[in-house]
Chain A
Amino acid sequence: MKPAPFEYVRPESLDELVGMLTAGDVLLAGGQSLLPALSERRRRLRRLVDVNAVPGLERCEAGPGLLRAGALTRHRDLAGRADVRAAVPVLAEAARHVGHEAVRVRGTLGGSIANADPAAELPGVCVLLDAVARVRSAAAGERAVPVADLLRPGGLAEGEVITVVEVPALRPGEGWGFAELSRPGAYAFPLVTVSATVMRGSGGVVTGVRAAVTGAAGAPYALPGEEAAGLLGAVPSAAWAGAVAGRLAAAARPVSDHYASAGYRRRMVAHLARRVLADAAGRAGAGGTP
């Protein structure tokens, strides 16, 4: 279990990085997904381009209404920083569930998105919140792409670098919820996750609801907008949460594998969703996100 040989470069500016990329280069961020793949020789590459010395990629700022998280923002910072938790508590909570402390110390948000595991926590929350990634390449310059698009097969083109992820903050009063069911045992990788936000207006009726699911389809998916529209105007109840859960489960396209059956995954979407929607509704209030 040792990597095959490769060349190694460590560019020291974003321009240098983007300028040098050629076919067969692979970026190294936290290495928490890439290094196992190299050591097990599941992945071969010609040249490894270590982005950890590029200034600015680690910058993570919670501004008004928006979290601008550089691609190298570590899971540990998303989980632990007070300003991140204040702006996007649902992202902080999801990050807390990623791997273990040692993995969170190195693993990055950009790497998680580029890695695009269909069950991973952080991409799901990006889909929930309509996060947008800024992507640079020598060929196309900079483009802003919804993270949801990057997660589809072929979403990130060769030679493209995710530089920053812009995650809209929760609105004042918006409630949130996150739940995960992981595989048993020490690895505890997520099997299914559900995240949601709820806005409530006068009389406590639902004025906005968003939800996203990972691990139950080829890529994370959100509650379709037109379905969400039909769920507004009610006072949240178990039945209401059940209705949202039912729609999320209906949208699932799960697979069966040696971890779990498709049926189980679908049931877990519904099960987690009920709880997450109840949490989000419970947290929703007028002004400020508790």
Chain B
Amino acid sequence: MIEVSFTVNGRPYRIAVEPRTLLSDALREQCGLTGTHAGCEHGVCGMCTVLDGGQPVRSCLMLAVQAEGRVFTTVEGLGAPDELSPLQDAFRAEHGVQCGFCTPGILLTLRAYLDQHPGASEAELREALSGNLCRCTGYQNIVAAALRAAGRCGVPEPGECSGERGSPLGAAAVRREDARLLTGTARFTDDVPVPGAVHVHFVRSPHAHARITGIDTSAARAADGVTGVFTGADLARWTSPARMAPPIEGLVPMETETLPSGKVRFAGDPVAVVVAADRYRAEDAGALVRVEYEPLPPVLDAEESLAGDAALVDDSLDSNVVFRGGLSSGDAAAAFARADRVVRTRFSHQRMTHAPMETRGCAAVWDAGRGELTVHTGTQVPHPFRTQLAARLRLREDQVRVIVPDVGGAFGQKLVVYREDVVVAALAMRLGRPVRWREDRGENLMAAASAREDSAEVEAAVTADGRILALRARLLSDFGAYSFFPANYMLRVVAMMLPGVYRVPAYSCEMTVVLSTKVPAAPMRAPMAVCTWVTESTVDAVARELGLDPVEVRERNMLREEELPYVTASGETYEDVTPYRAFGAVLDRYDYAGFRRRQREGRAAGVYRGVGLACVVEPTTYGSAFYRSAGIPGSGHESAWVRIDPSGSVAASTGIAAAGQGHETTLAQVVAAGLGVRPEDVAVRLGDTEVAPYGMGTRGARSGTAGGGTALLAARRLKEKVLAIAREMLGGEDGLDVRDGEVVAAKEDGWVGTGLSVADIARTAYLDPLSLPEGLEPGLAVQLAYDPPPMTYSNAVHLCEVTVDPVTGQVRIERYLVAEDAGTVINPAVVEGQVHGAVMLGAGGVLCEGIVYDEAGRNLAGSFRDYALPSVREAPAVEVVHCGTPSSRTPGGMKGMSEGGVMGSIAAVTAAVNDAIAPSGVTVSRLPVTPPRLSDLLDGRLPGVPGHQDE
């Protein structure tokens, strides 16, 4: 141990560290400054940025011993929650924060830059921020906040909102979460203090596929600081395996051990777990665990599995095919026989991963005396998580409490109980000590969950003037090594949504899902996202082959609002959607004819511009009836309680959990609207299963409709009680309402005060129950549950303009427009932030991200050096036009949203690239289109551009 002295935020520290202790760990653990986050620990993400003598440095790339005598600033030194600095305030005002995990590093980077370059330009600020990742915001509002801080206010975005005037619904309120997220006082899983906790580290397979022939843990067990080392055999005694066997036609039941005992199925599969005093020692001991493997052939190609040529991934099955299903309606065969033309397209999306900036992790505390387990973890679904975890640990559900702290992004990766979570909880019980695990970035990229390796072959039967008569599709998905979800979970929705916004008289679709030796698949923000790409690109191919304009073909096939309600070829009922109106809204904002002119002129000068359109229907809500009819297990109900305390303060909760979406802010707006109080007077408590009522959590864009809808119903019901008491207290007066926390009475020209406030009513309800109307129980609290409609639909139209450099293959997004119809918008700034982030997530997949395996099945993208996330340099400025058509089926008219942006951007960006390179005669059908791949694909097919033959 070495003693070091340094100053942080003006305060002296003197600590003892090992030579190897990273500065980031010393700041977090020894100085207690947990606002400094670790997002990668290899220098790329920028989350750990602190100022060293005013200069930005990566604290994960400095050793604590190097801190001697230095003067640091961390986010805690920038301002306090009730005293934000102008820079922090700019982020709050511009909605530059979502999950907030990236925020401290960004603030410090900007602080240093703006100190040296006051009044910096947008281009300079983007360059300055290019070393800081953000997975949530698409960077747009971060840039806006930086500009505001630099004294250059961004242009306010236009937007018409559907909310009632003067109602808290529809207000672009600043987020209440932000004060803590901006000051380092938020608490993410790894920031939760758990005294006496030991740390785990998982030993993972280097092989894609191998039999485990022996594990020797003796050296590891004897290592310094080690509490124990455990393997699959131990866990099999303490826990139950995960069984995935819902009664679904075509789905093969599967079972997953808590830790594999017989063989490993992907590089990164956990084979043993080390428990030690700290993470450093746990990793030291992990290196001493000797595992003997007998390698088996990797299974990497879904087509080989289909042909039966691949090794078996799950030895208990007789094939790698784990789901086969079909959908059909109308007479496709007849339509194809009658068609003037059959247009064929193929698509293949690469494997991606969610990459939330906060990795997975949990801390488990077992209270042996009470027989109670508390688990702190950033799950999106606290109650279902508790149900599953209790079952796996063979505990009664009431013995488990799940507490969700602040969550640094999830995107679908924090939906299930992972094997690691079960291990940590089981160890806490076995060892009688708190146990914690923080997944590192390498594990997150190699072993958490991945998504979207879907491919499609489509045939469209069309008339000579471009009318679609029928669609036939064959969908294939690579599910990875295990079944964390039912194997039809994602692909079923792709098949369902494939008809998109078009009239498709006949449709047939085959779905196949196969196992492979890759990271298991999970739904990722818009699990069905490829559907829009497939359909829209097929429409573009129809236009190309028939020599028509893509706009014309869309006009010809698109549903009009007058045709609603409309039952699609896959049996879904569209109501309250506005595809044609949104299409018009985008084209009105964009000079399409002018673009075609610029495109022609540009091509003559060697400049390749392209435009892409994507019409999106986003399924949202997923009520229970949807699951039943789709043959997917699940409930879609939600619960909420709202209560007014004796002093008049309001609190509310639902079963949804936030991971950056700002639920505390929007739920407060909803409850305030339902109850007639001010949003700032409503406290929102989420994520603790002892506090929140049982609900299905946050996924599938359901938080607005299911979470918000249930809270609205509960608030309205509570208001009825408030009014009933008020009427009694006012001697039977009618025509009362509650506004801004005051009871008001209708007068011909508006509302007048009655002198009664909600606080007066509350006092009576709790403390003077004898004054209550006959039959009314004391207190002011309502809890209710609500099952929303099977599905609601939001819709959007995306337009993307790009320039392609035909030599380097670089794609620049020049303009990005979205017309979004998400029904009643609770908070337009939050909705826009969701659109920005979703567009970037889709575009990142198109342009740079991807998991790459080598022939041996090793994952080559195990760090942020190799798994390329987009930076602010690549981020488009998205213009959002709101066209809020309220849903007639949900309380408040909310429809929900957050995934459609991904669906639209995969389609629109790819279409724009294809439009730009159309003169080459090639089209992109495999993603991603990184510059090298696009350049190789073009291969000299454009005039004056070199290709392979010129080398």
**A residues bordering B, Cβ < 8 Å?**
1-8, 10, 28, 31-32, 35-36, 38-41, 48, 50, 52, 76, 99-103, 105-106, 181, 183-189, 191, 249, 258-261, 263-264, 266-268, 270-271
Contacts and interface: CB of A to CB of B under 8 A. Distances in A.
Interface stretch (B247-255, B715-723, B869-877): B869-877
B30 interface: no
Interface string B797-832: 000000000011110000000000000000000000
A32 B59 CA distance: 11
B871 A40 contact: no
A267 B56 contact: no
A103 B58 contact: yes
Given A100-B131, A101-B109, A102-B49, A1 B441 contact: yes
Nearest to A249: B951
Interface in B104-126: 109, 112-113
B113 A101 contact: yes
25 contacts: A1-B283, A2-B20, A2-B280, A4-B283, A5-B19, A5-B280, A6-B19, A7-B19, A31-B66, A36-B42, A36-B43, A39-B22, A39-B42, A40-B442, A52-B66, A76-B55, A101-B56, A105-B52, A184-B870, A184-B931, A185-B869, A258-B852, A259-B932, A267-B807, A267-B951
Interface of B: 2, 18-20, 22, 25, 41-46, 49, 52, 55-58, 60-63, 65-66, 109, 112-113, 128, 130-131, 133, 279-280, 283-284, 287, 440-442, 807-810, 844, 847-849, 852, 854, 860, 863-866, 868-871, 873-874, 930-932, 935-936, 946-948, 950-951
B225 to A, nearest CB: 11
Contacts of B45: 186
Contacts of A185: 844, 848-849, 868-871, 874
A90 B951 CA distance: 28
A102 B133 CA distance: 13
Contacts of B951: 249, 263, 266-267
A186 B44 contact: yes
B283 A2 contact: yes
A243 to B, nearest CB: 14
B131 A4 contact: no
B440 A102 contact: no
Contacts of B936: 261, 263-264
Given A7-B19, A186-B130, A41 B283 contact: yes
B55 A1 contact: no
A1 B946 contact: no
B18 A181 contact: no
B57 A2 contact: no
Majority SS at the chain B contact face: loop
Contacts of A258: 852, 854, 860, 866
B46 A184 contact: no
A194 to B, nearest CB: 13
B61 A31 contact: yes
A275 to B, nearest CB: 10
A191 B868 CA distance: 14
A105 B849 contact: no
A102 B808 contact: no
Counting from the closest, the 6 A-B pairs by CB-CB distance are A100-B131, A185-B868, A8-B19, A260-B932, A186-B871, A36-B42
Given A105-B55, A185-B848, A5 B442 contact: no
Contacts of B25: 2
Given A39-B42, A183-B868, A263-B951, 19 more contacts: A1-B42, A1-B441, A2-B20, A3-B22, A6-B20, A7-B19, A8-B20, A8-B65, A36-B42, A39-B41, A41-B287, A101-B109, A102-B49, A102-B56, A184-B810, A184-B868, A185-B871, A187-B864, A260-B932
Contact of A1 (B19, B58, B440, B860): B440
B946 A32 contact: no
Contacts of A99: 131
Nearest to B811: A184
Nearest to A254: B951
A76 B53 CA distance: 14
Given A4-B284, A39-B22, A103 B871 contact: no
A264 B20 contact: no
Nearest to A259: B932
Contacts of A181: 808, 931
